Amino acid sequence: MSPATVSRHATAPTRLSFVASETEEAQFARRLLADKYGDLPAENAEAIVALGGDGLMLQTLHRFMGSGIPIYGMNRGSVGFLMNEFREDGLLQRLAAADITPIHPLSLTATVDEDGIQDARAINEVSLLRQTSQAARLRISVDGRVRLEELVCDGIIVATPAGSTAYNLSAHGPILPIYSPLLALTPISAFRPRRWRGALLPNHTRVDIDILEPKKRPVSASADHREIRHVTKVSIHEDSELEGLIMFDSDHGWDERILTEMFKY
Known binding residue 144? Answer is no
Residue 216 lies in a domain: yes
C-alpha triplet 252, 257, 261: angle, nearest 5° = 150
pLDDT at residue 11 in the model? 67
Number of compact structural domains in the chain? 2
Q: Flag whether 10 is marked binding.
A: no
Question: Is 167 labeled as ligand-binding?
Answer: yes
Say if strands 16-20 and 47-52 run parallel, antiparallel, or are unpaired: parallel
Residue 125 is labelled as binding a ligand:
yes
Q: Give me the active site residues, please.
A: 54
Query: CATH number, domain at 87?
Result: 3.40.50.10330
Same domain flag for 161 and 257: no
Examine the domain organization and report whether 87 and 145 are in the same domain: no
> Are residues 211 and 196 part of one domain?
yes
165 is in an annotated binding site: yes
Using one digit for the tens of pLDDT, what is the confidence trace for 216-265?
Answer: 999 999 999 899 999 999 999 999 999 999 999 987 766 777 777 777 76
* CA–CA distance, 165 with 42 (Å, rounded to integer): 29
2 pLDDT tier (thresholds 50, 70, 90) = very low
The Cα-based distances of 88 to 18, 29, 33 in angstroms read: 13, 8, 7
Distance CA 161, CA 175 (A): 7
Domain that includes residue 227, residue range:
106-238
Which pLDDT tens digit goes with each residue over 52-88?
999 999 999 999 999 999 999 999 987 778 899 999 9
pLDDT > 60? residue 140: yes
Is residue 72 a known part of a binding site? no
Separation between Cα atoms, residue 72 and residue 65, nearest integer Å: 14
pLDDT for the residue numbered 133 = 96
169 among the known binding-site residues?
Answer: yes
Percentages helix, strand, coil for the chain (3-state, rounded to 5) are: 20, 40, 40
Task: Give this prediction's pTM.
Answer: 0.88
Q: Look at 111-115, 181-185, 243-247 and tell me which has the smallest mean pLDDT.
A: 111-115
210 phi, psi to nearest 5 deg: -95, 135
156 and 56 share a domain? Answer: no
Chain-centroid distance of CA 149 in Å reads 28
Q: Closest Cα partner for 74 from 106, 42, 98, 46?
A: 98
Could you tell me if 63 and 157 lie in one domain? no
| Strands 99-103 vs 244-248: parallel, antiparallel or unpaired | antiparallel
One domain for residues 90 and 186? no
2, part of any domain = no
Res 3: pLDDT:
39
One domain for residues 230 and 128: yes
Closest C-alpha among 177, 240, 232, 171 to residue 205: 240
Residue 105 has pLDDT above 70, yes or no: yes
Domain of 116: which CATH number?
Answer: 2.60.200.30
Q: What is the mean pLDDT of residues 81-103?
A: 93
Same domain, 184 and 197: yes
Average pLDDT of the chain is: 92
